Amino acid sequence: MLKRQNPSTPERSKDLAADGGALSMSHNDSRSFFNLSQLVLSAGQIKPSPALKHSKITYFEVEIVDMQSKKQICIVDKVPPASTLLDVKHKFHKACPQWYPSRVGLQLERNGPFLKDSVSIQSLAAASIITLYFTDLGQQVGWTTFFLTEYTGPLLIYLLFYIRLSTIYDQVESRKNFRHPVVHLACFCHCLHYIRHLLETLFVHKFSEGHTPLKNMIKGCAFYWGFTSWIAYYINHPRYTPPSFGHKQVSYAALAFLMCEAGNHFINVALAHQTNSGNRTCFPSPTYNPFTWLFLLVSCPNYTYEAGSWISFTVMTQTLPVGIFAFLMVIQMSLWAQKKHKLYLKRFYPEVRRKAAMIPIIF
Enumerate the domain spans of the chain.
60-138, 140-241, 242-362
Q: Which H/E stretch holds residue 63?
A: strand 60-66
Q: How far, in Å, are 123, 239, 344, 349 from residue 353 at the CA level?
A: 33, 50, 9, 6
pLDDT exceeds 50 at position 15: no
60-138 maps to which CATH number?
3.10.20.90
Amino acid in the structure at residue 283: F
Q: Is 13 helix (H, G, I), strand (E, B) or coil?
A: helix
> How far is Cα 243 from Cα 313, in angstroms, rounded to an integer?
12
Residue 229 and residue 157 in contact, taking contact as beta carbons nearer than 8 Å: yes
How does the average pLDDT of the chain come out, rounded? 84
> How far is Cα 83 from Cα 75, in angstroms, rounded to an integer?
15
Q: How far, in Å, are 75, 84, 121, 186 from residue 78 at the CA level?
A: 10, 13, 12, 61
Q: Is 118 helix (H, G, I), strand (E, B) or coil?
A: coil
Mean pLDDT of all residues in 21-44: 51
Q: Is 83 helix (H, G, I), strand (E, B) or coil?
A: coil
Q: Which H/E stretch holds residue 322?
A: helix 320-347
Please report, in angstroms and rounded to a whole number, the separation of the first and last CA atoms in the chain: 154
Residue 59: DSSP 8-state: P
* Predicted local distance difference test score (pLDDT) of residue 268: 95
pLDDT tens-digit readout, 111-139: 888 998 889 988 888 788 899 999 999 89
* Predicted local distance difference test score (pLDDT) of residue 362: 58
No. of H helices and E strands in the chain?
A: 11, 6
> How far is Cα 7 from Cα 215, in angstroms, rounded to an integer?
127
pLDDT exceeds 50 at position 245: yes
Handedness of CA 121, 123, 128, 133 (dihedral sign): negative
Model-wide pTM > 0.85: no
pLDDT tens-digit readout, 287-316: 899 999 999 999 999 999 999 999 999 999
The angle at the Cα of 70, spanning 69 to 73, to the nearest 5 degrees, equals 95
CA 36 distance to own-chain centroid = 72
> How far is Cα 334 from Cα 220, in angstroms, rounded to an integer?
17
**Total residues found in the chain within this entry:** 363
